Structure 1
């Protein structure tokens, strides 16, 4: 099944690699270069998708790097989850996301972690799971 994936990654080489391998697997990929751009892309798609279905998320998966310019992955995740609490988010991070997300409230089940370093095959498996 083809998925619609939003990738937020400030490293151009890494983002290109992710997009190439995901598109080869038949998925459509939108890339954001920083946290702010990620929110903008998400919001744009949210507006478009709301005409189709109020229940449907604009992306099947949001793949987030945590260390990005303008907004961190954690900040982006919180903004997205405020809009769509069941949006599936995967953090691609070398950091312990649970400690980063230690805030009032619980981390939704829709948030997952892919610990760096990981292989591109591992990423594909996680996204398609």
Structure 2
């Protein structure tokens, strides 16, 4: 089952995210602030590590969540940027998606964590959040080029990495066919 941890202080936004993701088949854990988000993340990471230790594969990426969704101001005392940094210190491969209604903060995030997080600007339609998380159209396009979509999904690439891969594949195809 797809799993998401959401840290959001705005109750109406939280209800929107939770409803959208539940309808799309996600198991949703909720944190009221950055501190609770980090506690839940670290607890789930420990559990995932314990399970992985019992498996034979040393190449398994341990990801307790498909994504962690953070508001840039999770609470008045703590911000999402610090939570993201701590999560990435604990697990470099964890996918983090910021939701923000501040253009200035979005620029700050891009400067601070550039390719390590994804950003979705408020307001957005429910489908935009699900598309970002699942990259459905990008996977469909990569599959149409003959790539093994299941293997790509196992790599846990974020949406922007998948778009770069699709762009590179299209460029190679154009060079090969001369179109």
| TM-based fold match above 0.5 | yes
Between the aligned partners of 1:6 and 1:46, the Cα distance in structure 2 is 12
Please list the CA deviations of residues 22-56 of structure 1 after superposition, one character each: whole Å capped at 9, or x if unmatched: 01111110011111111111011011111112631
**Maintained 8 Å contact 2:45/2:62:** no
Alpha-carbon separation, structure 1, partners of 2:71 and 2:119: 10
8 A contact 1:12–1:33 mirrored in 2: no
What does 1:1-129 align with in structure 2 at a 5 Å threshold? Answer: 2-53=1-52, 55-69=61-75, 70-95=77-102, 96-100=105-109, 102-103=111-112, 107=113, 109-129=115-135
Structure 1 stretches of at least 4 aligned residues deviating more than 3 Å after TM superposition = 100-103
Q: Whose RCO is larger (CA < 8 A, sep 6+)?
A: 1
Distance in 2 (alpha carbons) for counterparts of 1:110 and 1:28: 23
Q: Following the alignment from structure 2 to structure 1, what is the Cα–Cα distance between the partners of residues 118 and 72?
A: 13
Is there any run of 5+ residues in structure 1 with no aligned partner, and where? none
C-alpha distance in 2, partners of 1:84/1:44?
A: 13
TM-score scaled by structure 1? 0.87
Q: Give distance in 1, aligned partners of 2:90 and 2:107.
A: 21
Aligned pairs, number: 125
**Structure 1 residues 16 and 51: alpha-carbon distance in aligned structure 2, compared to 1, 3 A threshold:** same
CA RMSD, aligned part only? 1.7
Structure with the higher fraction of residues in helix conformation: 2
Change (3 A) 1:114 1:123: same
